[in-house]
Chain A
Amino acid sequence: MTPASPSATSRPIARLMPVLATTAVFLAGFLACSMVFPNFASMRVVMNLLTDNAFLGIVAVGMTFVIISGGIDLSVGSVIGFTTVFLALSIERWGVPPLTAFVVILLLAGLFGAAMGATIQYFDLPPFIVTLAGMFLARGASFLLSTESIPINADFYGELAGHAIRLPGGARFTVPAMIMLAVVAAGMVLLHLTRFGANVYALGGNRAATALMGVNVARTTVLIYTLSGVLAGLSGIVFSLYTSSGYSLSAVGVELDAIAAVVIGGTLLSGGYGFVFGTFVGVLIQGLIQTYISFDGSLSSWWAKIATGLLLFAFIAFQQATVHLARRPRLGAAGASRP
């Protein structure tokens, strides 16, 4: 075992390279923004960055699990939309207490995810198409519930949305931001420190080998999509807090933002490799682009799309390059080993 130790100590850094690169890009971007706009580097901007992107961050954590396991979940944006409509209707029209409604919708979203996971697993179907059907179903169901935007006026909502820890400089550490940070932390623990997390990585590496290793592939697959569903539901709750309303057309295309955040965060779409923290930074980078554009004022929103596309390309090209380098004969590694 001793000969392996030098490379084992040097490899974690190589493994963390994509996440470090993403973090470096975020910090560099933040620095650049601070130089352009003197007021940028403040607690208030940082806190707003967290609050405005909380729903995306939460759903992107679930997407990270799905993608590391080698799948994809296109339904999350629709599930967020359904959640906001369901909450608005149940609280405002059916008189359900908000907390009960939260529990019910989280259960529903989890069941929905589990059903998709089971369909993928037991019918041996591609996740792309199954979750595409799920996307149509959830969006269609929210249309059926209501096509108009319903305001949520419950006192509880106002209190929750107004509740925040006040920080110096007029910054507010809001409930959505707290929920997102908690989800990111919980996601990191679940992915990196538990047996379930190890199984997720194994599934993305090689399904057949994972099954032969004795991992319950079916249970893990269903659980992964259940997790993604629950987090999409939670994200919907946060979204409805943020907008104080429910609308069937809300969060259209969020699944793509989430996938982009996961990819920018250094996770391989082919599965088996990735970090929750990278995804978190990926979300922040997308938020940073939006914030830059709103600070600038003269730039149009379409630059955000082009910039996100360029960033996607840069990160994927970088990943591709590192993967190719890693596949080469380990000349550098041999030379670097200690005597």
Chain B
Amino acid sequence: MPLRLPRAGTSQVVALVAILLANWLVSPQFFDIRLQDGRLFGSLIDVLNRGAPVALLSLGMVLVIAMRGIDLSVGAIMAICGAVAASLADSHALPVVLAAALGAGLLCGLWNGLLVAVLGIQPIVATLILMVAGRGIAQLITEGRIVTFTSPDLAFLGGGSVFGLPTPVALTLGMLALTLLIVRGTALGLMIEATGGNPRASALAGIETRLITVAVYMWSGLCAALAGIVAAADILGADANNSGLWLELDAILAVVIGGTSLFGGRFSVVLAVVGALIIQAMNTGILLSGLAPETNLVVKAVVVLAVLLAQSPRLAGLGVVLRRSRP
């Protein structure tokens, strides 16, 4: 297992390094990192910090996609959980706030999981329901306003630092370690890959596919809740309309760039996070280069197409033929 990952991830890591180098070319101070007030500052740290929400989302999304599912609702879940956290922040202690927000995320995930696993609804549709209704629910919680708060405890999660790292980055690293521990430290990852590869055969082999499906959607909900809390803590408020808007697409993109197939099966948690960093490094690079931010989407589309074509089964077949011709 440790041998497989680096080899499979070469192209993603090369892409990330190439984009970072390109950023360095347009902005020579890109790799400068300085320590100030016990916190690291610099463009590179900024990429990590800004990329944290999508990276968190991709941690849940990668497992969902590995099960041949998709979770369109994560952006809406971010909005709901951010709204919950922001509206409770000034009146309750931090543990209560976190428990409520994370609980809301788990509940959303449970709803998605039950629709997919028990009612047998297609994942795209099942999560579309919450994607459409979720933002309405979030606005219901905030009563249509942008709820702001002053609680320093919650604000720490967005703007504070742990061992010099911004809290969102530390949180993402922690969740990455936790996810790896759960899926690779146990047989769970194997079961997820088996279920994504062939649900029927996995069920016949004795895997509790329904239970795993529900658990995976709940994990995705939890990750989205954390991302929502971070996003709310970052701006000291919850904007039900815009928090996490279209981030589900970025998260799916991160997972696909990370080499996980939308048709389920083999997945890589680490590479999904690398995918999220690639997206953020591109965004930052375009901002640094002074190009109009409008070019961002076009560049993104081109990168997605390039990654897709590189992964295309047809082209892979071509690659095998080429490789065979020169041993």
Residues of A within 8 A of B (CB): 72, 119, 122-126, 128-130, 132-137, 139-141, 143-144, 147, 256, 259-260, 263, 269-270, 300, 302-306, 308-310, 312-313, 316-317, 320
Given contacts A140-B296, A313-B129, A316-B129, A128 and B135 within 8 Å (CB-CB): no
Which residues in B have their C-beta under 8 angstroms from that of A129?
252, 256, 262, 304, 308
Among listed B32-40, B120-128, B206-214, interface-contacting one:
B120-128
Which residues in A have their C-beta under 8 angstroms from that of B131?
256
**B31 at interface by CB-CB < 8 Å:** no
Quick check: A144 and B312 within 8 Å, CB to CB? no
Which residues in B have their C-beta under 8 angstroms from that of A135?
249
Quick check: A128 and B124 within 8 Å, CB to CB? yes
A132 smallest CB distance to B (angstroms): 6
**B133 at interface by CB-CB < 8 Å:** yes
Q: Is the interface of A mostly helix, strand, loop or mixed?
A: helix
**B146 at interface by CB-CB < 8 Å:** no
Quick check: A259 and B128 within 8 Å, CB to CB? yes
Given contacts A144-B298, A263-B125, A123 and B308 within 8 Å (CB-CB): yes
Given contacts A133-B301, A133-B305, A306 and B136 within 8 Å (CB-CB): yes
> How many angstroms between the C-alpha atoms of A306 and B313 in the bound complex?
40
Quick check: B295 and A136 within 8 Å, CB to CB? no
> How many angstroms between the C-alpha atoms of A129 and B262 in the bound complex?
9
Quick check: A124 and B312 within 8 Å, CB to CB? yes
Quick check: B298 and A309 within 8 Å, CB to CB? no
> How many angstroms between the C-alpha atoms of A320 and B115 in the bound complex?
10
7 tightest A-B contacts by CB? Answer: A309-B133, A140-B297, A305-B136, A143-B294, A140-B298, A302-B139, A137-B301
Chain B count of residues within 8 A CB distance of the other chain: 47
Output the nearest chain A residue to B299 by Cβ-Cβ distance: A140
CB within 8 A of B295: which of A123, A140, A269, A312? A140
Which residues in B have their C-beta under 8 angstroms from that of A256?
128, 131-132
Quick check: A312 and B144 within 8 Å, CB to CB? no
Output the nearest chain A residue to B72 by Cβ-Cβ distance: A256
Which residues in B have their C-beta under 8 angstroms from that of A147?
294
Quick check: B315 and A123 within 8 Å, CB to CB? yes
Quick check: B297 and A304 within 8 Å, CB to CB? no
What are 28 A-B pairs with beta-carbon distances under 8 A? Answer: A72-B124, A119-B305, A123-B314, A125-B312, A126-B262, A126-B263, A133-B308, A136-B301, A140-B296, A140-B297, A140-B301, A143-B295, A143-B297, A143-B298, A144-B292, A144-B298, A147-B294, A256-B132, A260-B132, A270-B122, A300-B144, A302-B135, A302-B137, A309-B133, A312-B125, A316-B121, A316-B125, A320-B119
Which residues in B have their C-beta under 8 angstroms from that of A270?
122
Quick check: B301 and A134 within 8 Å, CB to CB? yes
Quick check: A317 and B304 within 8 Å, CB to CB? no
Quick check: A137 and B298 within 8 Å, CB to CB? yes
Quick check: B132 and A308 within 8 Å, CB to CB? yes
Output the nearest chain B residue to A145 by Cβ-Cβ distance: B294
> How many angstroms between the C-alpha atoms of A300 and B145 in the bound complex?
11
Q: A123-B309, A137-B297, A260-B132 are in contact. List 13 more A-B contacts (CB 8 A).
A: A124-B314, A128-B262, A132-B249, A133-B305, A143-B292, A144-B298, A147-B294, A256-B131, A308-B133, A309-B132, A309-B133, A316-B125, A320-B120
Which residues in B have their C-beta under 8 angstroms from that of A132?
249, 252-253, 304
**B70 at interface by CB-CB < 8 Å:** yes
Quick check: B137 and A306 within 8 Å, CB to CB? yes
> How many angstroms between the C-alpha atoms of A122 and B144 in the bound complex?
46
Output the nearest chain A residue to B135 by Cβ-Cβ distance: A305
> How many angstroms between the C-alpha atoms of A256 and B130 in the bound complex?
12
> How many angstroms between the C-alpha atoms of A309 and B137 in the bound complex?
10
| CB contact list, B98-124 vs A, under 8 A | 115, 119-122, 124
Quick check: B136 and A303 within 8 Å, CB to CB? yes
Residues of B within 8 A of A (CB): 70, 115, 119-122, 124-126, 128-137, 139-140, 144, 240, 249, 252-253, 256, 262-263, 292, 294-302, 304-305, 308-309, 312-315
Which residues in A have their C-beta under 8 angstroms from that of B305?
119, 133
> How many angstroms between the C-alpha atoms of A303 and B139 in the bound complex?
9
The residue among A303, A309, A310 with the most chain B CB atoms within 10 A of its own CB is A309
Output the nearest chain A residue to B309 by Cβ-Cβ distance: A123
> How many angstroms between the C-alpha atoms of A211 and B312 in the bound complex?
21
> How many angstroms between the C-alpha atoms of A144 and B286 in the bound complex?
14
Quick check: A140 and B132 within 8 Å, CB to CB? no
Given contacts A122-B314, A302-B140, A128 and B70 within 8 Å (CB-CB): yes
Quick check: B133 and A310 within 8 Å, CB to CB? yes
Which residues in B have their C-beta under 8 angstroms from that of A125?
308, 312
Which residues in B have their C-beta under 8 angstroms from that of A136?
297-298, 300-301, 304
Quick check: B304 and A133 within 8 Å, CB to CB? yes
Output the nearest chain A residue to B253 by Cβ-Cβ distance: A132
Which residues in B have their C-beta under 8 angstroms from that of A72?
124
> How many angstroms between the C-alpha atoms of A128 and B132 in the bound complex?
18
A130 smallest CB distance to B (angstroms): 7
B249 smallest CB distance to A (angstroms): 6
A45 smallest CB distance to B (angstroms): 24
A271 smallest CB distance to B (angstroms): 10
Output the nearest chain B residue to A127 by Cβ-Cβ distance: B262
A73 smallest CB distance to B (angstroms): 12
Quick check: A312 and B129 within 8 Å, CB to CB? yes
Quick check: A306 and B314 within 8 Å, CB to CB? no
> How many angstroms between the C-alpha atoms of A130 and B164 in the bound complex?
40
The residue among B128, B144, B240, B313 with the most chain A CB atoms within 10 A of its own CB is B128
A131 smallest CB distance to B (angstroms): 11
Quick check: B136 and A302 within 8 Å, CB to CB? yes
Quick check: A317 and B252 within 8 Å, CB to CB? no
Which residues in B have their C-beta under 8 angstroms from that of A312?
125, 128-129, 132-133
> How many angstroms between the C-alpha atoms of A135 and B304 in the bound complex?
11
Output the nearest chain A residue to B304 by Cβ-Cβ distance: A133
Given contacts A124-B313, A309-B132, A312-B129, A302 and B144 within 8 Å (CB-CB): yes
Which residues in B have their C-beta under 8 angstroms from that of A304?
136
> How many angstroms between the C-alpha atoms of A304 and B139 in the bound complex?
11
> How many angstroms between the C-alpha atoms of A305 and B252 in the bound complex?
23
Which residues in A have their C-beta under 8 angstroms from that of B121?
316, 320
